[in-house]
Amino acid sequence: MWKIEFYPPGTDESPVADFLDSLPLTSLNKVRHTMRLLQEFGPQLRQPNSKKLTGYSKLFELRTSGSSPVRLLYTVFNGKFIILHGFVKKTNLTPAKEIKTALSRMKLLT
């Protein structure tokens, strides 16, 4: 079983946890299911549940579907999955500002 932590790891407060707490129950349940798949299958998890972001060597997105798809941007750090940022997807492409948030948090891990 793979370990998942929210950014920043090792703390009780997290912007990712706050985002998840703000989701409607149906969306939250989909996210929980997809996170369980990531825990079980780790780096072997592929589309439609997980996808490497093109152009970013260490940034991935955990994906849900439906009328309000949720994306959790994550990386692998010290043998664990660190969920850096979450948002509700409203466009076909992942918005640059969402990627920028995840990348800035990822830089703070090292």
pLDDT by residue for the chain (110 residues), tens only, comes to: 999 999 998 888 999 999 999 999 999 999 999 999 999 999 999 999 999 998 998 999 999 998 899 999 999 999 999 999 999 999 888 999 999 999 999 999 96
Q: Which CATH number goes with the domain that contains 53?
A: 3.30.2310.20
User: 32, 21 in Cβ contact below 8 A?
Assistant: no
User: In the 8-state DSSP scheme, what is residue 80?
Assistant: E
User: 39, 1 in Cβ contact below 8 A?
Assistant: yes
User: 62, 38 in Cβ contact below 8 A?
Assistant: yes
Q: Domain range for residue 100?
A: 4-109
Query: What is the model's pTM?
Result: 0.94
Longest pairwise C-alpha distance within the chain: 36
Distance in angstroms (rounded) separating the CA atoms of residues 95 and 77? 23
Number of folded domains that form the chain: 1
CB atoms under 10 Å from CB of 101, counted, come to 18
User: In the 8-state DSSP scheme, what is residue 108?
Assistant: H
